[in-house]
Structure 1
Amino acid sequence: MEPTNHTAVPEFLLLGLTDDPALQPLIFSLFLCIYLVTVLGNLLIILAISSDSQFHTPMYFFLSNLSLTDMCFSTITVPKMLVNIQRQSKTISYAGCLSQMGFVLIFAGLENSLLAAMAYDRYVAICHPLRYMVIMKPHFCLLLIVLSLSISTVDALLHSLMVLRLSFCTDLEIPHFFCELAQVLKVACSDTFINNVLIYLAACTFGGVPLSGVIFSYTHIVISVLKLPSSQGKYKAFSTCGSHLSVVSLFYGTLLGVYISSLVTDSPRKTAVASVMYTVVPPMLNPFIYSLRNRDMKEALRKLIVRTASLH
């Protein structure tokens, strides 16, 4: 096939999760429900935190930003898939594909960094409780958010600029429901060795450092909690980070599962189905994890719903 310059590429084809027309209505309904639950759940978390002064703490400040990130993450990928199913079309423009790829990298990286920041917050709260308010000042928390967003944006821009230099073949079929970086590179006619090296370097740097921070924080948390004399104190300490630990396990567990599935299967379509577990499922489940495991959050959500209902 003759390569074409990227400026001449009209559009990519997102093949989605299946070619079976009979399954398309089911997939549309399922993902529409998932998306609506994701947006509603995370929006309720943000509104509950912003409307109740008892939640104006570093932990809930990070949680509200995590909810906003989850909403954006789902909005970047799911609506385009729903539109394509509804229109019975698989196309996405070159600019749209690269934009989607870049924003996916930004919000995935931001979520990774936010989980590390939340782990550090729990580390300070449990291991250095007397210095908590001194260390976790509002401007420091804001600095962590800005730093996380900046690092994620730089990472995404780096990958996007490297993709811009590539030329693409006439076969532009992407066996996925969104423009994932690895899948976009596979339809390029240019040499992608540098791009692939950059992926591994960026994953080790921008992904490995936050993960190391999470592991470091929870290692010290476990050590500190085990030193507590009473079992009640241990339970109370662990309960303050139980929700976050569940979210961390869900996020990294699904990522690891997708990586392993890509190694054991040669089918890109199966890898795309597996990727649903880290792109769609965690943003939907995170609000439930934090609301169901947190008595104060459940009460705040109940008050918010009652107050909203009374207005109507």
Structure 2
Amino acid sequence: MRIERRDFLKVSAAAAAGLVYSKRMHAAASTAAIRLGGPIFINSTDPAELAREHRRLGYAAAYCPDIATLSDTQLLQKIEQAYASQNVVIAEVGAWKNMLDPDAEKRRANLDYVTQRCALADALGALNCVDIAGSYNPDVWYGPNPKNLSREFFDATIENVRHILDHVKPTRTKFTVEMMGWNLPDGPDGYVELIRAVDRKAFGVHLDVCNGINSPQRYYHNADFIRECFSKLGPWIVSCHAKDLRWDVEMNVHFEEVVPGRGQVDYTTYLTELSKLGREVPLMLEHLKTAEEYDEGRHYIQTVGSAAGLKFA
């Protein structure tokens, strides 16, 4: 059968349009909704009321409520059910203690605390229990110290993470440590090295992009740094933090944490890369000073995401 040139062009145009449409549909299908979350500011011990407040604010992810305790299994079940009924995921249980404290007694107590917090995360069904690896600084628990970039620090962190995971044996949560600008892991490559060295399936990644921006190069080119983080760490990412960075001009480099939208972090890239993971990974606002600042940050992120064609859970 002979096809006339006019008909051929029509068929070709239709096929091309179909291919473009197919690619667009595939791209849309491969992106996931963003689960934005943050703290809430109501005085309540009622799990249902706490869950509803998250939804009122447009949040689909939450920090572990302060009322949760490992010993009260009935309360944990009520919290889990109340939040699930509002489609709110409990993103993280914070375990902010120094697992490498120079004082051996404090270090032991801190490790026990973090282990218990990991057990709480697993009992509650939180996505992860998060800490930093720690610090050898004797005065500030997260502060700088030359040994924080040493092999000793790396090996001690491996030992600590394995201790926690081998003790808890979590089935519903991951244990994670954040990147820090002056502690290991201080970038995606170091994070991958740590993951492989720990060699435990329940060890994941909590991505805090701002914590990894520790140089003018990463600040200027933070979109490239964000893409690198997601490219190398994507399979392990279980939760992320949201804030912004502003360069305060002094005689040396000083980055200040500020409300999203007041700094230079490329949130279009951040949100796009997050959605491309193909699963609903929480993005948790943190370190802001007031409820009004959280409202501002939430609105900015939602506006940027909507402008990029992204959806929020």
Same fold (TM over 0.5): no
Higher helix share goes to which structure? Answer: 1
Higher strand share goes to which structure? Answer: 2
Higher RCO structure (Cα 8 Å, ≥6 apart): 1
When normalised by structure 1's length, the TM-score is 0.24
When normalised by structure 2's length, the TM-score is 0.24
